[in-house]
Amino acid sequence: MIKLRLPDGSVKEHDKGVSVYEATAAISEGLARASMGAVVNGEIKGMTDIIEEDSEFKVVKFEDKEGKEIFWHTSAHIFALALKRLYPQAKLAIGPAIDNGFYYDFDSEHKFTEEDFEALEAEMKKIVKEGLKLEKSILPREEALAKYKEMKEDYKVDIIEDLAEGETISIYKIGEFEDLCRGPHLSDTKKVKAIKLLSVAGAYWRGDENNKMLQRIYGISFEKKKDLDEYLERMEEAKKRDHRKLGRELDLFSMHEEGPGFPFFHPKGMIIRGELENFWREIHLAKGYGEIRTPIILNQALWLQSGHWDHYKDNMYLTEIDEEAYAIKPMNCPGSILIYKSGLRSYRDLPLKWGELGLVHRHELSGTLHGLMRVRSFTQDDAHVFCLPEQVKEQLVEVIELADHIYETFGFKYSVELSTRPEDSMGTEEQWEIAENGLKAALEEKGIEYRIDEGDGAFYGPKIDFQLEDAIGRTWQCGTIQLDFQMPERFEMEYIDNNGDKKRPVMIHRALFGSMERFLGILIEHYAGRFPAWLAPVQVKVLPISDKFNDYANEVVDKLKSNGIRVELDVRDEKIGYKIREAQMEKMPYMLIIGAKELEERNVTLRHAVGGEQEEKELDVFIEELKEEIKNKQ
């Protein structure tokens, strides 16, 4: 017998070799029908997978992240079968589930466009109606290699050849199609009721620019057509909010082929950045942080000592100075450590809390670059806390509270993931266990629910990631908190304890915006370019009805400026309706209309950007109300 512990703490006993479906049906037949699979001892399993040992057992539905992964992975296989039926000569590469749906990479002489999607979707729907089973089999590596060579599936052969001799390979069969795959999958195709292919793109095999360019088709699928329709509506809204489009229209930033992945910020974009930085400095100063600045280029010896040279070199830009190897920093932490080591530290000095708006560079593949969301140079709102072991929980709680304050200010809800030890890591199991338990304890003290992301920690320590939910329900990985016992060890960092002995401090790495560039991109899409007044590059647009009122309009502008309000005056010889429409296109928070009545009464007509309501206002009253709104970051 084996024991399965459910999330509520109850335990179910089963015969060894029970399937996920059988274990789920023993809880509830209805649950088994609604389920996609289960998480068994932290590993995602399909409904037909077998459980051989005592396990933590959590059933997952489509609304769960793991359930979506199973559902969308199966959808990718349905796509591959449809592709092979319609285009038998296509050679398949890989087809994973992703955060929003799935994609499949393949090699084909036929150049696909969106016009091909209708036929592919029809074939996919036909496969769903056939209710085909997904059947798993295991083959020795050599047998699988021979099989795929015979099938002339070159990319599958390439994958198998990378595996060690003697390994076994899992294969999933769906109808007449077999795919090299570790799974997991749905038990059959019936659940995939609503399918939509979204776009086609190019992708280098294995992400290497030296390899052949393959074709990649993205898709999405759901259990119900209603959910697909809602998703497509959100996609249309997302297109309107695309930060690259709005960045151009609002004159915030631009990208240029002379520096792919290196954003250029325009004056209006710099105003928003400046406000974000001012906010960052204000809240950190209040929490006792000092601000530091470290060099962009540091020598190879430092990066060898930190571990980045061994674990991160492929993402670093390298250079040579005086015949010595240097690197442009991909992270700020080693520089912060050097400042710590520049003096003798006592236990009375700790915790030391230092923040840095540090410019870093990382080599990202050209195909992954995406506006401000994925760039090669960016400014991290980094901070490092050096503390005593007994101060760790208190400091983690303080950082979590700071993150909560920041995200609340911008109107974000968020969820939390705790990422554990990756395969390519430094340090002992005991150190990692202590670090992971420290992060869990801080989250639990704050009563924050979190999910475990196995194996996705940094190479030097586990981390907490904040997933922000924007105004249209999309999630963005943003802030991160990392607990690190490794860097203090590698750099021989010390403090003198109350007995006069030398001890190692604990290091907390954290960035709460994540990066200024990515956070700004998220904000543009979250607000659809219509920033709250405190962030808006121009807070008020003054619109005289004709040039007869320009003198009074200039008086209004001067008074707004003298009160620290960012204002523009539109004195073009255009009709007022045109000026208003232009100001609305510029996402102006407020418009002040100046005409005969306003001049006579020495007041203004205030037009709100949202809704278009107009009201007469005394100028001084409007100024005080706006200053209060800006001060409170409403």
Question: Among the options 45, 345, 421, 463, which is catalytic?
Answer: 463
Name the DSSP letter for residue 133: B
Amino acid sitting at position 70: I
How far apart are alpha carbons 540 and 174 in whole angstroms?
A: 61
Residue-wise burial string across 248-272, b where 16 or more C-beta atoms lie within 10 A, e elsewhere: eebebbebeeeeebebebeebbebb
293 carries an active-site annotation: no
Name the DSSP letter for residue 350: P
244 carries an active-site annotation: no
Question: Among the options 181, 333, 387, 478, which is catalytic?
Answer: 333
Name the DSSP letter for residue 112: -
384 carries an active-site annotation: yes
463 carries an active-site annotation: yes
Evaluated on CA atoms 446, 450, 454, 457, the torsion sign reads negative
Report the candidate in 254, 261, 456 with the shortest Cα–Cα distance to residue 363.
261
Torsion angle defined by CA atoms of residues 227, 230, 231 and 235, in that order, rounded to the nearest 10 degrees: 170
Report the candidate in 224, 257, 174, 213 with the shortest Cα–Cα distance to residue 63.
224
Question: Among the options 509, 510, 579, 587, which is catalytic?
Answer: 509
How far apart are alpha carbons 170 and 179 in whole angstroms?
A: 9
Torsion angle defined by CA atoms of residues 162, 166, 170 and 173, in that order, rounded to the nearest 10 degrees: 100
Q: Greatest CA span in the chain, whole angstroms? A: 91
Contact 305, 490 (CB under 8 A): yes
Q: What is the DSSP string of 200-213?
A: EEEEEGGG-TTSPE
How far apart are alpha carbons 634 and 626 in whole angstroms?
A: 10
Contact 172, 77 (CB under 8 A): yes
CA–centroid distance for 337 within its chain: 27
Question: Among the options 73, 181, 308, 380, which is catalytic?
Answer: 380
How far apart are alpha carbons 355 and 285 in whole angstroms?
A: 9
509 carries an active-site annotation: yes
333 carries an active-site annotation: yes
Q: What is the phi/psi pair of residue 194, to 5°? A: -130, 120
Contact 381, 516 (CB under 8 A): yes
- Indicate left, alpha or beta for 46 from its phi (over 0: left) and psi (-120 to 50: alpha): beta
526 carries an active-site annotation: no
Three-class DSSP category at 357:
strand
**3-class secondary structure for 243-259?**
HHHHHHHCCCEECCCCC
- Compute how many other C-beta atoms are within 10 angstroms of the C-beta atom of residue 464: 24
Q: Just list the catalytic residues.
A: 333, 362, 380, 382, 384, 463, 509
